[in-house]
Structure 1
Amino acid sequence: MTIEAVLFDYSGTLFRLGESQAWGDGLVAADGRAFDLDEKTEILRRMTAPVGQLVEFDAEGQHAWENRDLDPKLHRHAYLEVLRKSGVPTDDQAALLYDHMVDPTSWTPYPDVEAVLTSLAAQGLQIALVSNIAFDVRAAFTARNWDRYIDAFALSFEIGAMKPDQRIFAATLDKLGVDPESALMVGDSAEADGGATALGCRFALVDPLPTWERPTGLIDALQEHGFTIDR
């Protein structure tokens, strides 16, 4: 069946956090030592991992973690706790990092995003963003005039369901008016994004590498499913 719509994940698929050289500058451990690159990389991984639990919580924190992408307050509670348990010693430092995380203009797009969006739109494909997230990322698209290519934003905190729950994919397809068999989901997590296959969607996996290490990852993934993308 012909693909009529392409659904994209956000973090690690279209955009990536922490690409700015200034990210994490000023992070100081409890002993006064500046965080090294490996420590900052690990903190970033813990803030953006699509699945898995990387720290232990008390009962309140566990509830916040399990529902973090459904409620902004729970999201903040969970990730401030993650940062504290990852060696960020003060509430002020944790809050600065968290605020950076939830600022969509702080995220860097992968190099081939614009080519992919413009090419798919020109071919008459519908495009949707499907993300487990508790903050509005539309500004990342409007700042680049890319919102004109997005036919539906399906954000978990607005939909009330998190990937791999079929409901978030079903709600997206309903907005587009497309059958699952005519949709391709592109994401960096076989567990979360790959949940679309339970409905009958096709799935393409991309590697959430730093942007400079993945210049054509989206193009390559789409070409494997028969798309021609103008570079």
Structure 2
Amino acid sequence: MMDAVIFDFSGTLFRLDEDDSWFDGVTHSDGTAVDGHHAAELMRRMTAPVGEVVEFDDVTRHAWRNRDLDPALHRQAYLHVLRESGLDNQDHAESVYGRVIDPFCWTPYPDTAEVLKVLASASIPVAVLSNIAFDIRPAFERLGVTDLISEFVLSYEVGFVKPQLEIFRYAVDKLGVEASRTLMVGDSEEADGAARAIGCSFALVDPIPTPERPTALLEALELSGITR
């Protein structure tokens, strides 16, 4: 059994499940309304953990590559993504971006609270490790599970981003555990799976809409020998 578990945030514990109301009155550059298909594509681009989702120039590429280290660069990068995706109305882009950085707009997966309670009952410490440029703690407070998290390791606070190994070392050091006794759970083989390079075990989950993934976190624990 593992001595500690580290969870990714986006696509792992929570997901930005878009609400139709977010796009009320939001239009493309040609004046047509944003439909459900385009809304889903926008959210995919706004939450992609790795890669370039639109065309960038040198300035915006710098912002994109460093977006999770600086809130100002994060805003610059994502407003560029929205413009390149057809939302060139500044007010509309700002409105959608505001949803992305609002922790209360993020939906927990059905088993998020339960998996944290299982680990707490087994006295297994937990860290949440995320490439992110805004404070996600209120999302956990709203779910009533903040006291079940030993450490929040957020890239803009610690100065490292996945897949840099320093951010994983920082997390295991803060938890006071050996990497070889730590499970990393995330939705990106490239970003989260890099934890294996320092000796962690890794479990991959699918970042599908929350209603479609009711028990993946619990199953990841069970495969690592942690049962309810």
Deviation at 1:117, TM superposition (A): 0.5
Q: 2:67 — aligned with what?
A: 68
Counterpart code for 1:188: D
Deviates more, 1:15-24 or 1:95-104: 15-24
Identity of aligned residues (%): 54
Matches of 1:21 and 1:13, distance apart in 2: 22
SS at match of 2:116: helix
Matches of 1:32 and 1:74, distance apart in 2: 28
Deviation at 1:75, TM superposition (A): 0.4
Matches of 2:162 and 2:74, distance apart in 1: 16
Matches of 1:219 and 1:12, distance apart in 2: 15
* 1:88 correspondence with 2:90: no
Listed one character per residue, the Cα deviations across residues 112-167 of structure 1 (whole Å, up to 9, x for unaligned) are 01110011100010000000001110011112221100000000011100001010
Superposed, 1:34-183 pairs within 5 Å as 34-183=33-182
Deviates more, 1:7-16 or 1:20-29: 20-29
Contact 2:18 2:39 in 1 (8 A): no
Q: 1:82 to 1:117 in 2, by over 3 A?
A: same
- Detail structure 1 runs of 4+ shifted over 4 Å in the superposition: none
Matches of 1:91 and 1:21, distance apart in 2: 19
Matches of 2:85 and 2:148, distance apart in 1: 38
Matches of 1:131 and 1:137, distance apart in 2: 9
Superposition RMSD in Å: 1.0
In the superposition, the TM-score normalised over structure 1's length comes to 0.96
Q: 1:227 to 1:21 in 2, by over 3 A?
A: farther
Matches of 2:67 and 2:78, distance apart in 1: 8
Contact 1:19 1:210 in 2 (8 A): no
- Structure 2 alignment gaps of length 5 or more: none
Matches of 1:18 and 1:173, distance apart in 2: 30
Counterpart code for 2:11: G
* Aligned residue pairs, count: 228
In the superposition, the TM-score normalised over structure 2's length comes to 0.97
Counterpart code for 1:57: F
Deviation at 1:23, TM superposition (A): 3.1
Deviates more, 1:120-129 or 1:136-145: 136-145
Contact 2:165 2:195 in 1 (8 A): yes
Counterpart code for 1:87: G
Q: 2:212 — aligned with what?
A: 213
SS at match of 1:143: helix
Matches of 1:130 and 1:19, distance apart in 2: 23
Matches of 2:60 and 2:79, distance apart in 1: 10
Matches of 1:13 and 1:24, distance apart in 2: 24
Counterpart code for 1:149: L
Matches of 1:205 and 1:36, distance apart in 2: 31
Deviation at 1:35, TM superposition (A): 1.4
Q: 2:11 — aligned with what?
A: 12
Matches of 2:28 and 2:118, distance apart in 1: 46
Contact 1:19 1:211 in 2 (8 A): no
- Structure 1 alignment gaps of length 5 or more: none
